[in-house]
A and B are shown apart, each in its own frame.
Chain A
Amino acid sequence: MGTRGYRYKTSHSLSGPGDGGKTGSWRIQRPVIDLERCTPARRGTEVCFICWLYCPDSVISRTIPPVIDYEYCKGCGICAEECPTKAITMIDEADAYQDDEGLQACSTEGPRPCT
């Protein structure tokens, strides 16, 4: 199929996610939240959200509990480094991939809580 009928004659980009593809595939390590230690999860109130603030890729939700979008999370580890309660641990992606839970989390069905 040619592009003859395309509506623009210039480089006119429209907004959408995933320009760089499923950037979750870049990860070597995966952040995993321990909800027992996560302040908003533990208290059930809107509090902390430091991981959300510092995430370069807006893949951590500002929700109770915070949810990581593994489809796009690049695995930088800033969240784990900055979490004041050390509730986030970076685990090897290869290990995470071994178990079913990890595979599900990596599916393309969208963000889901990591338990």
Chain B
Amino acid sequence: MAAKTTILTLPKEEFVHPGNRACTGCGLSIAYRVGLKALGPDTILVVPPSCLTVLQGLFPVASTKLPCLNVTFASTAAAATGVREALKAQGRDHTRVVAWAGDGGTADIGIQALSGAAERGDDFLFICYDNEGYMNTGVQRSGTTPQGAITTNTPLKGKQQRKKDVPAIMTAHGIDYVATTSAAYPLDLYDKINKAIALQGTKYIHIHTPCPPGWGYEPRYSIKIGRLAVETGYYDLYEVEKGAFRLTGASEKLLEKQQLVPVRDYLQSQARFRVLTEDQIAELQAQIDAKWAMYYQGT
């Protein structure tokens, strides 16, 4: 296994320009900036409408240094396939093809194309940055918005349904590599992307991506909140390699520690969870405890 990347070994070269239109303290900006370092220059990106479209710039200026194809919302994975097949047809197959979509473009409108491509095993890496809602259109609920979160179309009671587990869906496709990571753990993110792009076939990485305006917290807390999600056992960092599940990084450390930060700390750090009742918080804590009890048992 490759040595873990450290701050000092992380490549210095930047592929995202400053002065882009991402919000102040944007979690995606951190993930994208570090993610592109892992991908390197021999990469073609495919991006559907999302906050990333805005971050990447308005014609005729691009805030990214890599070639990128902007595509329609539902078509990301199919477009990534098209890029790959065209490269194959031209003998340019060394180039990496990476689709980078938001949670709406992955879990909701994009899931058909993603599922189709994964079933075919088309050769590209699909990255979902999950900020848990339609943030670019003004914070509406998505399939991955967590239960209880206030959004602009669940404005009073919060979302009633549970978060859709996209990494589990992707794992069920039997692809060789599925991983979760977080914008708050950029080195973990870097290593997982690096690992994924070396493999053939469809790979999937899910990035938990704190969003100051969408989640309701001060921009300076983006890393702290992302970290809390992991330390509370609410969001887990893991890999599924050829079907084998393994907690990684900070989540793996929690296995040894066997002590989770109460989820209340995470929930109370964000305005979107302000309508959660004590009962709901207790229920959520129970769900997390049950999940971690299984992890502790190794199941």
Per-residue 0/1 for A27-62: is the Cβ within 8 Å of any B Cβ (1 yes, 0 no)? 000000000000000000011111011111111001
Assess the A69–B7 pair: CB atoms within 8 A. Answer: no
A16 touches B61 (CB 8 A): yes
| Residues of chain B lying within 8 A (CB to CB) of residue A82 | 223
Q: What is the minimal beta-carbon distance from B33 to any residue of chain A, in angstroms? A: 6
Q: Using A19-B58, A57-B18 as known contacts, say yes or no to A76 and B186 having CB atoms under 8 A apart.
A: no
Contacts of B29 in A (CB 8 A): 56-57
CB distance from A2 to the nearest CB of B (A): 15
Report the Cα distance A49→B9, complex, angstroms. 11
A56 and B62 in contact, given A46-B8, A78-B223 (Cβ under 8 angstroms):
no
- Known contacts A53-B7, A72-B19; A78/B25 CB under 8 A: yes
Residues B219 and A17 in contact, CB atoms below 8 Å apart = no
On whether the beta carbons of A56 and B220 are closer than 8 Å, the reply is no
Known contacts: A13-B61, A14-B61, A56-B222. The answer to whether A50 contacts B7 by CB under 8 A is yes
A-B contact count (CB 8 A): 119
- Chain A residues with CB under 8 A of B33: 56, 58
Q: Once the chains are docked, how many angstroms separate the CA of A69 from the CA of B22?
A: 17
Q: Does B57 contact A (CB under 8 A)?
A: yes
B57 touches A19 (CB 8 A): yes
Binary interface encoding of chain A residues 56-91 relative to chain B, with 1 for a CB under 8 A from any of its CBs, else 0 = 111100100000010111111110111000000010
Residues of B within 8 A of A5 (CB): none
Q: Determine whether the beta carbon of A80 is less than 8 Å from that of B20.
A: no
Q: Please report the C-alpha to C-alpha distance between residue A20 and residue B55 in the assembled complex, in whole angstroms.
A: 9
Known: A12-B60, A78-B220, A78-B223. A23 touches B25 (CB 8 A): no
Contacts of A11 in B (CB 8 A): 59-60
B21 in the interface (beta carbon within 8 A): yes
Are B222 and A58 closer than 8 Å at their CB atoms? no
The contact of B17 among A8, A15, A22, A73, by CB within 8 Å, is A15
B14 close to A (CB within 8 Å): yes
A1 to chain B, nearest CB (A): 15
B265 within 8 A of A: no
Q: Which of chain B's residues have a CB closer than 8 A to the CB of A48? A: 7
- Do B14 and A58 have beta carbons less than 8 Å apart? yes
Set of chain B residues within 8 Å of A26, measured between Cβ atoms = 24
**Chain A residues with Cβ under 8 A from B62's Cβ?**
13-16, 19
Given known pairs A11-B59, A53-B7, A58-B14, the reply for A17 and B220 (CB within 8 Å) is no
Interface membership of B16, Cβ < 8 A: yes
Complex-state Cα separation, A73 to B186, whole angstroms: 20
Given A13-B59, A14-B60, A49-B8, verify A76-B220 contact (CB < 8 Å): yes
- B218 CB within 8 Å of chain A: yes
Query: B87 an interface residue at 8 Å Cβ cutoff?
Result: no
CB under 8 Å from chain A, chain B span 57-71:
57-65
- Tell me the smallest distance from the CB of B94 to a CB of chain A, in Å: 21
* A interface list, Cβ under 8 A from B: 8, 11-23, 26, 46-50, 52-59, 62, 69, 71-78, 80-82, 90
* 8 additional contacts (CB under 8 A) given A16-B17, A56-B29, A72-B18: A14-B60, A18-B17, A19-B61, A54-B223, A56-B30, A57-B20, A71-B18, A78-B223
Q: Can you report 30 residue pairs joining A to B where beta carbons are below 8 Å apart?
A: A12-B59, A12-B60, A13-B57, A14-B60, A15-B63, A16-B61, A16-B62, A17-B17, A17-B63, A18-B61, A19-B62, A19-B63, A22-B19, A23-B20, A26-B24, A48-B7, A49-B8, A50-B7, A54-B223, A56-B22, A56-B27, A56-B29, A57-B18, A57-B22, A57-B29, A72-B18, A74-B25, A77-B25, A78-B223, A80-B220
